[in-house]
A and B are shown apart, each in its own frame.
Chain A
Amino acid sequence: AQSVAQPEDQVNVAEGNPLTVKCTYSVSGNPYLFWYVQYPNRGLQFLLKYITGDNLVKGSYGFEAEFNKSQTSFHLKKPSALVSDSALYFCAVRDYSGTYKYIFGTGTRLKVLA
């Protein structure tokens, strides 16, 4: 069965420093991977996705993610964190059970300190 793991419940980073939010996956075929962000009191928003192609995927708000097949990872990164990046981040993978079902991780709360 497909699954994703987000090993960190919370990540703290100083404003201006690079940030990384970790995600590892387990799939039976080629992975379709996603990152979503949930700002306080707002719905989830799509950030970026990896379907195929370049291992480095660029998304919204200056975020990018690196697909690493050998390490089965899809870590979210940003070169310089902003206080406004503070939010809850979810990694997701598309299920291959025959339907367009998506499996989400437990989420990582990012706190950017001024």
Chain B
Amino acid sequence: GAGVSQSPSNKVTEKGKDVELRCDPISGHTALYWYRQSLGQGLEFLIYFQGNSAPDKSGLPSDRFSAERTGGSVSTLTIQRTQQEDSAVYLCASRPTGRETQYFGPGTRLLVL
């Protein structure tokens, strides 16, 4: 079956521009996560959606970062006024209810010039 997909796969932007990153989770997975993978920093938790509950935004590094999940499916991570330190790979993962295993997408590689 189809896995988690993310778009775009690569994004180059200029400092100060806004970017939107998209995640399509596996159908039926109620939980969705966003992570940031920076060189030497491992995976940094950003935000977690679970069904219709309020998202856990505790990992968002600043108010320039926001995310939404429409209809319990597709999610968009938005970074406003991008900075060079935002350059990283942004990973999305989904998880079925009651299971612990996360399924990751291929990531979006963001480069801020």
Contact = CB atoms under 8 A, between A and B. Distances in A.
Size range of the chain A interface in the assembly: 20 to 34
A94 interface: yes
Given A99-B50, A99-B56, A101-B56, A46 B41 contact: no
Given A99-B48, A106-B42, A43 B100 contact: no
Interface in A6-31: 6, 9
B65 interface: no
Contacts, number: 59
Interface residues of B, number: 26
Given A43-B4, A99-B48, A100-B31, A106 B104 contact: no
Interface in B67-112: 91, 93, 95, 100-107
Contacts of B91: 43-44
Contact of B42 (A34, A51, A105): A105
25 contacts: A32-B100, A36-B102, A43-B4, A43-B104, A43-B105, A44-B93, A44-B104, A45-B104, A46-B102, A46-B103, A92-B43, A94-B100, A97-B58, A99-B48, A100-B48, A100-B50, A101-B48, A101-B58, A102-B33, A102-B45, A103-B45, A104-B45, A105-B42, A106-B41, A106-B42
Interface of A: 6, 9, 32, 34, 36, 42-46, 49, 51, 90, 92, 94, 97, 99-107
